[in-house]
């Protein structure tokens, strides 16, 4: 589960990391009061669980309490990358001299953690990482040892950060360990013109397996980064948003994973995928199709089902029934194989929907879906 910035800020503060004074509200009137309490001039920040708020108009300076109220009014209810702004945080502005990037992230492959740090933090960090990877230091952290003061100095030196940041690096590691986080990120960590080191933005992802001892954060609204993921979860479906153009529906995690590879092998990219699991009922199929079709990035849909306990004719029935309730707006390529595949294909042929076609092999289906996505 991701925390909101204001929650991350609270954790940082509890662990002795210096953060600007700030308060959260969902009311423009209260925003004005808060700004007054904080000294008048504030930064108004949309509280959404996504990055890049600054560039999307979700981080704005307000010169006085009246401006803070107005800005809060404009920001509340606004959407940033599909996330509705329900609350804003008002923070005392900091005069920034330099912006740094620091994070600890679980490195599953290495069985440890990775410290990632850069002296060129701020809103362009992704650009920096992509174009000049040498400006971003990556230092493995042994979880059994953790980030000692010596390790923190090593990380700071590797990234070219000022030595005073070492203290923050040690405390940030304590946040990760004590709060059961898989990721803690501060971007930007700044040095103010007065020479103080402050965390101006924070992202914390908690380990859901430890949720039983992190009850203070509640159940979360969804735990999903993406609104479509949340909608799918509400229907009991496993949906993951990716960034390509072919929507993928399959039964079973293994088959879905190989379908993603097949799509990539055909020069297309999966837009998202949905595992309908073992029981692909008509209802499940209708839900799956409606979720996938509501993603505007999807140009074609590939349904890849290997009939086992759930026979292909039942899946085909599901698709046909789904077509009654879901208006198909994009081409659908169906590959059915396994138990009762021929009967399943016959059912689809019988329905003869102009946007539905079937393929006999997984590669054939992936090729066709990729082709349709590119001509769409
Ligand atoms: P993000 O875009 O979602 O990562 O939001 P951030 O909280 O990181 O803010 C984006 C950028 O706004 C930061 O990189 C800073 O450059 C700027 N910013 C945020 N807070 C302050 C502040 O108190 N003072 C100044 N001068 N700039 C700020
Ligand atoms: Mn940021």
DSSP letters spanning 266-281: TT--EEEEEE--S---
Distance from Cα 262 to the centre of ligand 2, integer Å = 36
Which ligand gives the minimal distance to the CA of 49? 1
DSSP 40: S
The DSSP-derived string for 296-317 is TT-SEEEEEEEESSS-HHHHHH
Q: What is the pTM of this model?
A: 0.69
Q: What was the pLDDT predicted at 222?
A: 46
Q: Is 120 in the pocket of ligand 1 (CB under 6 A)?
A: no
The residue to which tokens 């199709």 are assigned = 289
Q: Is 99 in the pocket of ligand 1 (CB under 6 A)?
A: yes
Position in ligand 1 atom list of the atom nearest CA 53: 3
Q: What was the pLDDT predicted at 279?
A: 64
Distance from Cα 314 to the centre of ligand 1, integer Å = 53
> 10-residue block means of pLDDT along the chain (376 residues)?
96 98 98 98 97 95 98 96 94 98 95 97 94 97 97 98 98 97 98 98 93 78 67 85 95 93 97 83 83 93 90 88 89 95 94 93 96 91
Q: Is 188 in the pocket of ligand 1 (CB under 6 A)?
A: yes
Which residues are close to ligand 2, an ion, with C-beta < 5 A?
187, 201
Buried b (16+ CB within 10 A) or exposed e, 145-158: ebbeeebbbbbbee
CATH number of 21-91: 3.30.1490.20
Q: How is domain 96-216 classified at the architecture level of CATH?
A: 2-Layer Sandwich (3.30)
Q: What was the pLDDT predicted at 247?
A: 97
Buried b (16+ CB within 10 A) or exposed e, 21-34: ebbbbeebebbbbb
Contact present, 114 and 105 (Cβ < 8 Å): yes
CATH 3.40.1280.10 corresponds to the domain 227-375 = no
Q: What was the pLDDT predicted at 276?
A: 87
Distance from Cα 123 to the centre of ligand 2, integer Å = 6
Name the residues annotated as catalytic. Answer: 101, 185
Q: What was the pLDDT predicted at 345?
A: 94
The DSSP-derived string for 54-98 is TTTT-EEEESSHHHHHHHHHHHTT-EETTEE---EEEE----EEE
Q: What was the pLDDT predicted at 224?
A: 57
Where are the domain boundaries for CATH 3.40.50.261 in the chain? 227-375
Where are the domain boundaries for CATH 3.30.1490.20 in the chain? 21-91
Where are the domain boundaries for CATH 3.30.470.20 in the chain? 96-216
Q: What was the pLDDT predicted at 225?
A: 62
Q: What was the pLDDT predicted at 53?
A: 96
Q: Is 9 in the pocket of ligand 1 (CB under 6 A)?
A: no
Position in ligand 1 atom list of the atom nearest CA 43: 23
């Amino acid at each position: 589960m991701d925390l909101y910035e204001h929650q991350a800020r609270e954790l940082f503060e509890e662990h002795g990391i210096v953060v600007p004074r700030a308060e959260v509200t969902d009311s423009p009137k209260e925003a004005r009061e808060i700004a007054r309490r904080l000294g008048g001039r504030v930064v108004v920040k949309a509280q959404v669980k996504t990055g890049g708020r600054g560039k999307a108009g979700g981080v704005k300076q307000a010169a006085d309490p009246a401006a803070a109220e107005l800005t809060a009014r404009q920001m509340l209810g606004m959407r940033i990358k599909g996330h509705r702004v329900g609350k804003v945080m008002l923070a005392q502005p900091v005069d920034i001299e330099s912006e740094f990037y620091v994070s600890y992230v679980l490195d599953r492959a290495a069985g440890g953690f990775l410290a990632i740090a850069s002296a060129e933090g701020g809103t362009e960090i992704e650009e920096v990482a992509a174009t000049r990877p040498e400006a971003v230091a990556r230092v493995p952290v042994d979880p059994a040892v953790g980030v000692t003061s010596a390790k923190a100095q090593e990380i700071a030196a590797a990234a070219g950060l000022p030595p005073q940041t070492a203290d923050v690096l040690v405390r940030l590691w304590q946040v990760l360990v004590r709060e059961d986080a898989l990721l803690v990120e501060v971007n930007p960590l700044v040095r103010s013109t007065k020479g103080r080191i402050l965390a101006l933005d924070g992202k914390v992802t908690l380990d859901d397996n430890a949720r039983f001892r992190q009850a203070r954060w509640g159940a979360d609204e969804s735990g999903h980064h993406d609104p479509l993921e949340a909608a799918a979860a509400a229907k009991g479906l496993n949906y993951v948003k990716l960034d390509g153009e072919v929507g993928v529906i399959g039964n079973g995690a293994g088959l879905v994973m190989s379908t993603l590879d097949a799509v990539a092998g055909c020069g297309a990219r999966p837009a998202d995928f949905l595992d309908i699991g073992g029981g692909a009922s008509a209802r499940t199929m209708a839900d799956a199709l409606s979720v996938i079709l509501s993603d505007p990035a999807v140009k074609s849909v590939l349904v890849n089902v290997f009939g086992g306990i759930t026979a292909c004719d039942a899946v085909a029935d599901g698709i046909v029934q789904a077509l009654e309730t879901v208006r198909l707006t994009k081409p659908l390529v169906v590959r059915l194989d396994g138990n009762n595949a021929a009967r399943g294909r016959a059912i689809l042929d019988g329905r003869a929907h102009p946007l539905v076609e079937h393929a006999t092999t997984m590669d054939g289906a992936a090729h066709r879906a990729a082709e349709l996505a590119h001509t769409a």
